[in-house]
Amino acid sequence: MGNISKIFDPKSWIISNQGESNLLEGDYIYEMIIGEGESDNHVHYYIIEWISKNNYEKILDGTYTLLSFPDAATKLLLFDENKDVIPLVNGNEINWFYINENQLEEIDNMKMGAPKLKKEMQ
């Protein structure tokens, strides 16, 4: 059956830690609980991501677009106002090794105008 996981609506994310970024001076980052899951052996876990404060604010105000993939290694893809995929933490790089084929297709679809498969957040 596999793990069952879900990503929460960004308004429901919980800041579990925060601090100044080591990557960009003056940038703040949040460690956030963005979702939860249950493993095959019924162990509950939280899904945690680091995200720049600025990026989080732009998600909330609708400037940036967010697609979620609860069962993928890379849980979130973030797109700026130009529909370019950007890292969750400013100054970081996207690790393309962990982007799967479905996510690559969604990135292409964003550049074409809109995602083909809208990923709903719960």
Q: Is residue 57 part of a domain?
A: yes
Q: Is residue 120 part of a domain?
A: no
Domain that holds residue 58: 4-112
- What confidence score (pLDDT) does residue 105 get? 92
Q: What is the pLDDT of residue 114?
A: 58
Q: Which residues of the chain have pLDDT under 50?
A: 116-122
Within a domain: 89: yes
The predicted pLDDT at position 23 comes to 87
pLDDT given at position 24: 84
In a domain, 122, yes or no: no
Q: Count up the domains in the chain and report the number.
A: 1
φ/ψ (deg, to 5) at 114: -160, 150
Each residue's pLDDT tens digit, 26-48: 889 999 999 999 988 889 999 99
pTM for this predicted structure: 0.85
Q: Is 72 among the domain residues?
A: yes
